[in-house]
Amino acid sequence: MKQTAVRLPDETYERLQAMAEKTGRTATFYIREAIEAHLEDLEDVYMADAVLARREQGDARTVNLDELDSALGLDG
């Protein structure tokens, strides 16, 4: 497991510490939970942005549902 440092605004830090104290968990637990909960969403956003940029540059294209069905042999 790797370790990293995170700088937080004072208000966020205080909220995190209060939650840890109220629940008996560590602040590290909640930081890890938050990152894991949102990392996949962030990856999806960045992937979509990259695909959109490729499409705008003409390096990728889209297909409509009928074309997709036909390509997958589902049109019959």
Confidence band (pLDDT; 50, 70, 90) for 67? Answer: very high
Copy the structure tokens of residue 53: 């940029």
Q: Where are the domains of the chain?
A: 10-71
Give the relative orientation of helices 10-23 and 27-56 as an angle to the nearest 10 degrees: 130
Residue 16 near residue 30 (C-beta atoms within 8 A): yes
Is the pTM here over 0.75, yes or no? no
Residue with tokens 């629940």: 23
Confidence band (pLDDT; 50, 70, 90) for 62? Answer: confident
Res 35: pLDDT: 94
Copy the structure tokens of residue 38: 């949102």
